[in-house]
Structure 1
Amino acid sequence: MDNAIYVGVSRQMVLRREMDIIANNIANLDTTGFKVESLMHKTDPAAPAHTQGGPRPVKFVAGDMVARDFGQGALNKTGAPLDMAIEGEGFFQIQTPNGPRFTRDGRFTTDGTGRLVTQNGLAVLDDGGGEILIDPEKGQVAIGADGTMSQGDERVGKVGMYTFANQSALEKAGDNTFRNASNLQPQPATEAKLRQGHLETSNVKAVLEITRMVEVSRAYESTAKMIDSEAELSRRSVERLGRVQ
C-alpha cells in the first residue's frame, strides 16, 4: 500500500509543476512574442517500498522536458516605425553581457548613440552580427520584408533574422529571450518576413490554458483522495493486526 501512496505523491509533485507552467502561460498572455509551454510526463521505474508482493519495479510519475510551441502569434499593427514582427519561423538576435540571445519580441527603439536596441538597452544585431546605427537627422526609417533598413535612399543596415534546424536547441534565458544551448549554428531565416510597425502577440490561448488548469486541479484532487483512501486502508489494517495479536 505504501507503494501506491508514493506513486500518488510523485504524481502530485508533477501536477504542481505543471500547474506552475500553466499559470506562467496565463501570466504571459499579453507578453510580446511569448511562446506557450507545457510539461511532458514520463514514468520513472524504481524499487518498491517493500520487497515482497506487488509489481517490480514500481513506476513512479516524473516530469520530463518542457515542450514549447513556437507557433505564430497574431500580428498587431502599432504604427511605431521601430516595432517589428517576424512572420514565419525566425528570431531576432540581440547582444547581451552573457553572449547572443534570440527573441521574437520586436519592441525596439534607439539609444543615445543611435543604436537599435531592445527595451532593456541591448543591441539588436544585423545579418552579419554587428550593431545597427540609425541617424535621426536622416529622417524616417523604412524596413523591407527582408529586414533591409533605409533612410531616404541610403541603406543603413539589415535586421538579422535567424532560425535553427532544430528549435529544441533553444532554452529560456530570461527577459523573453532564448539562448542557443547546442552546437547548432543559427542560419538566416530566408523564408521569414519582417513586418514593420507590427508586434507579434503571445500564442497563448487563454481558454485552453484555463481548461488545462481545471483538468490539472481535478487530477490533483483525485490523486489526493486516492492517497487518503490508501492511508486509511493501511491504518485499518494495522489496527486489525493489533487486535489479532
Structure 2
Amino acid sequence: MDNALFVGLSRQMVLRREMDIVANNIANADTAGFKVESLMARTEPKNPANTAPGPRPVKFVLDDGVARNFGQGTLRTTGGTFDLGIEGDGFFTVNTAEGERYTRDGRFRMDPTGRLVTEDGDPLAGEGGGEIVIDPEKGPVTISKDGVVSQGTERIGKIGVVEFAELSVLRKDGGNLYRNTSNLQPAPQPDAVIHQGMLESSNVNPVLEITRMIEVTRAYERVTKMMDSTAELSRRSIERLGRVN
C-alpha cells in the first residue's frame, strides 16, 4: 500500500511545481519579451517501499527541469523612443553588476547621465560591449533597423544583437534577464531587425495556459482521490486483520 502513496505523493509534488509555472506564465502574459515555460517530468525506477507483491521496480515521477519556448512574440507599436523590439532570433546584451545578461525585453530608457538602461537601471551594451550614451542637447534619437543609434547626422553607437548556438545554456536570472551558464560565447546576429518604437509581446497564450491550469488541478484531484482510496483500503485491511487476531 505504501508504494501507491509514495508514487502519488511524487506526482503531487510535480503537479504543484507545474501549477507554479503555469501561474507564472499567466502572470507574465503582458510582460514584454517574456517566453512561455513548461515543466518537463520524468519517471525514475526505485525499489519498492515494502516487500508486498507488485510491480518491481516502482516508477516515481520527478521534476526534470523547465523548457522554454523562445518563439517570436507579436510586435506591438508603443511610439516610445527607446522602446525596441527584435524581429528574428537574438538578444540584447545588458551589463549588470554580476556580468553580462541577455534579454528580449526592449523597454529601455535614458538615465540622468544619458546612458540607455533597462527599467532596473542596467546599461544596454552596444556592439563591442560599450555603453550607449545620449546627449539630450543634440536632438532626437533615431535607431535604425540594424541597430545604429544616431542624433541628426552623428552616429552615437550601435546596438548589438547576439545569438546562442544552444539556447539551453540560458537560465533565468530575474528582471526578465537570462545568464549564460556555459563557456559558449554568443555570436553576432546580423539578420535580426530592430524596430524602434515597438516592443515584443510575451508569447504566452492565456487561453492555453488557463486550460492547462484546469487540467493540472483536475489531475491533482484525481491523484488525491487515489491516495485517499489507498489509505482507506489499508485502514480496512488492518481492521480486518485485527479482528482475525
Structure 1 and Structure 2 fold alike (TM over 0.5): yes
Aligned to 1:10: 10
1:1-245 superposed matches below 5 A: 1-245=1-245
**Letter in structure 1 aligned against 2:176:** N
Match of 1:174, SS?
Answer: coil
Deviation sequence 1:195-245 (CA, Å, 0-9, x none) = 000011111110000000000000000000000111111111111111111
Report the Cα offset of residue 90 of structure 1: 0.8
Instruction: Write out the 4+ residue segments of structure 1 that deviate beyond 6 Å after TM superposition.
Output: none
Inter-partner Cα distance in structure 1 for 2:95 and 2:51: 56
**Letter in structure 1 aligned against 2:161:** M
- Which residues of structure 2 form unaligned runs of 5+? none
C-alpha distance 166-147 of structure 1, shift in aligned 2 (>3 A): same
Inter-partner Cα distance in structure 2 for 1:155 and 1:70: 32
Inter-partner Cα distance in structure 1 for 2:68 and 2:103: 14
Inter-partner Cα distance in structure 1 for 2:219 and 2:86: 38
Report the Cα offset of residue 51 of structure 1: 2.6
Report the Cα offset of residue 52 of structure 1: 4.1
- Which residues of structure 1 form unaligned runs of 5+? none
Deviation sequence 1:104-124 (CA, Å, 0-9, x none) = 111111111111111111110
Deviation sequence 1:116-158 (CA, Å, 0-9, x none) = 1111111100110110111111111111111111111111100
Match of 2:132, SS?
Answer: coil
- Percent identity at matched positions? 64
Match of 2:16, SS?
Answer: helix
Q: How many residues align?
A: 245
Greater Cα offset, 52-61 or 11-20? 52-61
Greater Cα offset, 94-103 or 47-56? 47-56
**Letter in structure 2 aligned against 1:29:** A
TM-score by length of 1: 0.98
Inter-partner Cα distance in structure 1 for 2:45 and 2:87: 44
Inter-partner Cα distance in structure 2 for 1:24 and 1:83: 24
TM-score by length of 2: 0.98
